[in-house]
Amino acid sequence: MIDLCLLGTGGMMPLPERWLSALLVRSQRDVVLVDCGEGTQVSWRYSNWNFRDVGTIALTHLHADHVAGIAGVLFMIAHSNRSEDLTIFGPPGTYQVVQALTIVVPRLPFTVRIVELEGGETHTLPDGLELSTLKVDHRIPCLAYRFTRHRAPKFDAERARALDIPITLWGTLQSGSSVDVDGQTFSPDQVLGPPRSGLSVGFVTDTRVTSDIPNFVRDAELLICEGTYGDPELRERAEKRGHMVFDQAATIAREANARRLILTHFSPAMLDPDNYLHHAQAIFRHSSIGQAHQTITLSFRDE
Amino acid sequence: MIDLCLLGTGGMMPLPERWLSALLVRSQRDVVLVDCGEGTQVSWRYSNWNFRDVGTIALTHLHADHVAGIAGVLFMIAHSNRSEDLTIFGPPGTYQVVQALTIVVPRLPFTVRIVELEGGETHTLPDGLELSTLKVDHRIPCLAYRFTRHRAPKFDAERARALDIPITLWGTLQSGSSVDVDGQTFSPDQVLGPPRSGLSVGFVTDTRVTSDIPNFVRDAELLICEGTYGDPELRERAEKRGHMVFDQAATIAREANARRLILTHFSPAMLDPDNYLHHAQAIFRHSSIGQAHQTITLSFRDE
């Protein structure tokens, strides 16, 4: 299962009624904050997510509207009594920018590890959530993120019983290791069903359309994708500035065979993104406009 | 005349319903922002003050809740098409902190001049508003500010006419310079009335009570002063952390012979400062609780 909370949907600058685009992702005990513009700590307080739980911050890129709130968020995490390490992923330059911005929070009660990524990496977080990256195409280095909860094959209890494997060893087999019973070795494939698809969510913002994106978010249960402009006539402006219009995001969702698309990162000039939603829905029916503090729970298909 | 807009009233961290303490001050064409925590640019948008007009930012000290929003505010000022220089005043260390925080707004279309102050200085802004500072007593170097609009003595037109001074020279005399008329010199004191008191506002936050503060804000039309805690029983905690309780702020207002006191910089733990206002009013009747986006116009007494 993956829980999500969209903290905001704005691009460029925070507005009274529109927090900057940022996302909370939780799967088991892995909790990730994706992007962190000014005001993210305030928007966060409208949710019921605990600052303490965040072990990972993933930055798409180093423009102010995606990173300027990092000092405030680290300060809040510190005040929530977290003492465990925290990892910040981001594109090249992240170390320098985070070091600079956190000059006003000099003492944190936990270690911050900063990992700069080029795109193309996969990291597994402590509780198994997989984070992978793709280099996308903005005006400065920028990453798209995909979060995946893999799913173990189903354990066939009937076969395990038929093979006389003690129940205390089932967990070992389920986690993929062989076991010995009275000199006889049993391997996982003897008691596990076929592979099962996991669950994933893509977060793609501040990029032009690139040919890699659909593959990167292929079969995602949810794609959260920027639509800086709604009006398809602004495509040229969007491309010039390293962004997309709604129908381009919808085309990615369709090509990727995503199950659902949520649009985000709206230009301050677009007062009501709903007015343009039909441009996305004409291409990909399951498109919607992101709402601040919207929470989404993604479950495995047959649960 | 001095116009003010209180952008927020919170200390320590911005909250959904309480922006961080910051103040806009305007007198003629001098516009000053005092303090700039995270979210100041958002709170600012609830007012009708133009970002473009701000030529001075005055920082009390370099804790995150007073400075972390500086990149966002400079970004907004840049987007408002300001091209004139901007001056940032602050305590020692301001240069380093502002340089660090503005790493995410690398290109500004105006020159930013940073002036570090120890306290005790007086600067006159381009349109005549006087800014003076006092070193106060927090956990790190901190400044209180006083803004004064001085007032020229009244021009005595009758006397000027009696002396046969051409009307075209009245302005020169009024601004304090002598004039020559047909070889005869007239000095300002011949046509000006007695000195008139100016108009001033004090902004005092993040400090313990010090013996200098009442003198620094003497006879201020308005004192905006921190009251981090309302409950007088928290005085010891306040002093330990470099703050004040309401009745201490009220005592300063009374000793200073201020005309009016507005309390600000409330602890996040104090949900309703109004509950404690009577502690201030018992000492200084004209005390009130600061409200976000409250605007105040101070006028010369006999205008």
pLDDT tens readout for residues A141-191: 999 999 999 998 889 999 999 999 999 999 999 888 999 999 999 999 999
What is the percent of chain A with per-residue pLDDT over 90, rounded to a whole number?
Answer: 92
Check residue A196 and give its pLDDT: 87
Check residue B40 and give its pLDDT: 98
Check residue A274 and give its pLDDT: 98
Backbone angles phi, psi at A43, to 5 degrees: -60, -40
Query: Which residue from B minimizes the CA distance to A100?
Result: B100
Structure token digits, residue A6:
């969209």
The pLDDT of A265-288, averaged and rounded, is 98
User: CA B229, B235, B240: angle at the middle one, nearest 5?
Assistant: 95
Determine how β-strand A30-34 pairs with β-strand A22-27: antiparallel
**Nearest CB to B42: which of A39, A79, A97?**
A39
Counts for chain A of helices (H) and strands (E), in that order: 10, 16
- The answer to whether the CB of B62 falls within 8 A of the CB of B97 is yes
The pLDDT of A66-87, averaged and rounded, is 96
Check residue A17 and give its pLDDT: 87
In this predicted structure, the answer to whether residue A126 has a pLDDT above a threshold of 80 is: yes
Q: In chain B, which residues have their Cβ closer than 8 Å to the Cβ of A41?
A: 13-14, 38
CA A241 – CA A207 distance, rounded (Å): 9
Residue B288: how many CB atoms within 10 A of its CB? 15
A69 touches chain B (CB under 8 A): yes
In this predicted structure, the answer to whether residue A256 has a pLDDT above a threshold of 90 is: yes
Structure token digits, residue B80:
């408002």
Q: What is the largest CA-CA distance in chain B?
A: 72
Split at pLDDT 50, 70, 90, the class of A122 is very high
CA B194 – CA B196 distance, rounded (Å): 6
Check residue A277 and give its pLDDT: 98
Residue A81: how many CB atoms within 10 A of its CB? 10
Check residue A152 and give its pLDDT: 83
A vs B, Cβ pairs < 8 A, gives 82
Of the ranges A144-153, A222-231, B293-302, the best mean pLDDT one: A222-231
**Cα A56 to chain center, whole Å?**
11
Split at pLDDT 50, 70, 90, the class of B17 is confident
Structure token digits, residue B123:
């600067």
- List the single best residue of B45, B80, B101 to mutate versus A (max A Cβ within 10 A): B101
Check residue A195 and give its pLDDT: 85
* pLDDT, tens digit, 9 for 90 and up, residues B46-97: 999 999 999 999 999 999 999 999 999 999 999 999 999 999 999 999 999 9
Across chain B, mean pLDDT equals 96
One-letter amino acid at B47 equals: S
Q: In chain A, which residues have their Cβ closer than 8 Å to the Cβ of B105?
A: 64
ipTM: 0.88
The pLDDT of A10-25, averaged and rounded, is 95
What is the set of active-site residues of B?
65
User: What sign for the dihedral angle of Cα B49, B51, B53, B57?
Assistant: positive
Of A161-170, A260-269, B282-291, the poorest mean pLDDT is in: A161-170
CA B118 – CA B91 distance, rounded (Å): 6
Structure token digits, residue B238:
């306040």
Q: In chain B, which residues have their Cβ closer than 8 Å to the Cβ of A62?
A: 104
What is the percent of chain B with per-residue pLDDT over 90, rounded to a whole number?
Answer: 92
- The answer to whether the CB of B50 falls within 8 A of the CB of B25 is no
In this predicted structure, the answer to whether residue A303 has a pLDDT above a threshold of 80 is: no
Across chain A, mean pLDDT equals 96
Determine how β-strand A222-226 pairs with β-strand B222-226: unpaired
Split at pLDDT 50, 70, 90, the class of B214 is very high
**Nearest CB to A64: which of B16, B67, B104?**
B104
The shortest C-alpha distance from B94 to chain A (Å) reads 11
CA A94 – CA A37 distance, rounded (Å): 14
DSSP state of B95: H
In this predicted structure, the answer to whether residue A121 has a pLDDT above a threshold of 80 is: yes
DSSP B100-156: HHGGG----SS-EEEEE--SS-EEE-TTS-EEEEEE--SSS--EEEEEEEEEPPPB-
pTM to 2 decimals?
A: 0.91
In this predicted structure, the answer to whether residue B195 has a pLDDT above a threshold of 90 is: no
Backbone angles phi, psi at A173, to 5 degrees: -65, -40
In this predicted structure, the answer to whether residue B303 has a pLDDT above a threshold of 60 is: no
Query: Which residue from A minimizes the CA distance to B14?
Result: A42
Check residue B277 and give its pLDDT: 98
A149 touches chain B (CB under 8 A): no
Structure token digits, residue B81:
């098409």
CA B104 – CA B257 distance, rounded (Å): 44
Buried b (16+ CB within 10 A) or exposed e, B241-277: bbbbbbbbbbbbbbbbebebbbbbbbbeebeebeebb
In this predicted structure, the answer to whether residue B175 has a pLDDT above a threshold of 90 is: no
Among B217, B221, B223, smallest CA distance to B303 is for B221
In this predicted structure, the answer to whether residue B2 has a pLDDT above a threshold of 80 is: yes
Backbone angles phi, psi at B289, to 5 degrees: -90, 125
- Whether A65 is catalytic: yes
In this predicted structure, the answer to whether residue A129 has a pLDDT above a threshold of 70 is: yes
Query: Which residue from B minimizes the CA distance to A67?
Result: B104
Split at pLDDT 50, 70, 90, the class of A45 is very high
Conformation bin of residue B182: beta by default, left when phi > 0, alpha when psi is -120 to 50: left
In this predicted structure, the answer to whether residue B226 has a pLDDT above a threshold of 90 is: yes
One-letter amino acid at A96 equals: Q
Taking only residues 187 to 226 of chain A, the set having a beta carbon closer than 8 angstroms to any beta carbon of chain B reads none
In this predicted structure, the answer to whether residue A302 has a pLDDT above a threshold of 90 is: no
From A3, A30, A35, A65, the catalytic residue: A65
CA A283 – CA A13 distance, rounded (Å): 29
CA A99 – CA A106 distance, rounded (Å): 10
